[in-house]
Amino acid sequence: MNETPRANRLHIAFFGKTNAGKSSTINAITGQEIALVSDVAGTTTDPVYKAMELLPIGPVVFIDTAGLDDTSALGKARIKKTEEVVDKTDIAVIVIRSTDKELAREQEYIGRFREKNIPVIIACNVFEETPEGTAVLSGENVVTIRAKDGRGIEELKKKLIENAPGQEECSIIGKLAGKGDTVMLIMPQDIQAPKGRLILPQVQVMRDLLDKGCRIVSVKTEDMVPMLGELKTPPRLVITDSQVFQYVNEHLDKTIPLTSFSMLMAKNKGDIDEFVRGARAIADLKSGDKVLIAESCTHHAMKGDIAREKLPGWLNRYAGGGLVIENTAGHGFPEDIEDYRLIIHCGGCMINRSNMLSKIEHAKSAGVPITNFGVAIAFLNGMLSRVVY
């Protein structure tokens, strides 16, 4: 609970052919035996994640991927996992053998990252049996290294630092509240709330408010009205769990700005304007349409689950019934998403911004409107013009 969540760390991913030295390079950078190194091709199967502090950048996560040329029986599945890493990468490191002349696969990935405006660093790894200075690529972001003994690793670290996107903290609250403002948080502690803890978006919002010098009043839904009566002055802002949007709105003076944790996460992690456009597509849903409800994390669904019971029920009531609702969990989307008329995504607290933006781009490329839980619920309650973000 004291560590920076992986979703808030800079994601630095290493790509390359089998036995190019990706794992050895990560071990050399971190000074630890994080990734398994072997002469046997295909040692790295599923992506390996390691959270670290890389100064002066701060919290990062290094990702070791399977070989791009994996032709083993599980090769396709491994490469699919590598493809998922592409969508969450903030900085890409392409590791090649310094004498490798066939780089079509690497060039393909370099082009893809550049199209997405993701920094790419090429690490030409020199092995003992090859002479120095035989790197087949040159340029500003090309570094010659010898991962086995650490030569060139400091230069690679320097390139990582130079290419790191701005890591200044992006406020979740933004300009909605400031120093000295009282902010009320409505946080239902129902059966879905984790025992003894708060959900991550609530914790992150509270920390952001405290950093801004705000005064926080946290209550359960049933305590909202009594607490409002006890406050000498109305709160500057009310933030609610989107599941109780309607109740809170009905009992809150319309002069008090209102938003939800999910709305704030939508703006912080994704593209809030795109989500608002996507929510308006709910008005066009009709019987037989397929809707994908996507969550970035997996959890045991309990009675009254927002993604499997509440949202499907609200959507069907709005559309007159007959919708085909499908659920998915994880960092990627299922194939053939163009079959859906709408995608509704969770707040995305467990994924980084790059991953969320990639999902939005996948949906847009497929011509499918996309929104998130909070924005969709605001629309279903006729409150899009009421809420702030």
Q: Which residue has the tokens 């994704």?
A: 270
* 287-314 residues labelled b (16+ CB within 10 A) or e (exposed): eebbbbbbbbeeeeeeeebbbbebbbeb
183 pLDDT band (50/70/90 cuts)? very high
- What is the three-class DSSP state of 81? helix
The CATH number of the structural domain formed by 6-163 is 3.40.50.300
Range among 118-127, 139-148, 169-178 with highest mean pLDDT value: 118-127
What are the residue boundaries of the structural domains of the chain, listed by start? 6-163, 182-191+201-263, 267-380
Q: Do domains 6-163 and 267-380 have the same CATH topology?
A: yes
Helix orientation angle between 200-211 and 261-269, rounded to the nearest 10 degrees: 80
| Cβ atoms of 124 and 142 closer than 8 Å | yes
Topology of the domain comprising 267-380: Rossmann fold (3.40.50)
For residue 259, the SS3 value is strand
Q: What is the model's pTM?
A: 0.78
Q: Which tens digit of pLDDT belongs to each residue from 278-336?
A: 999 999 999 999 999 999 876 555 667 889 999 999 999 999 999 999 999 876 788 88
Q: Does domain 182-191+201-263 correspond to CATH entry 3.40.50.11420? A: yes
Q: Whole-angstrom Cα distance, residue 191 to residue 119? A: 43
Angle in degrees, CA 170, 175, 180, rounded to 5: 110
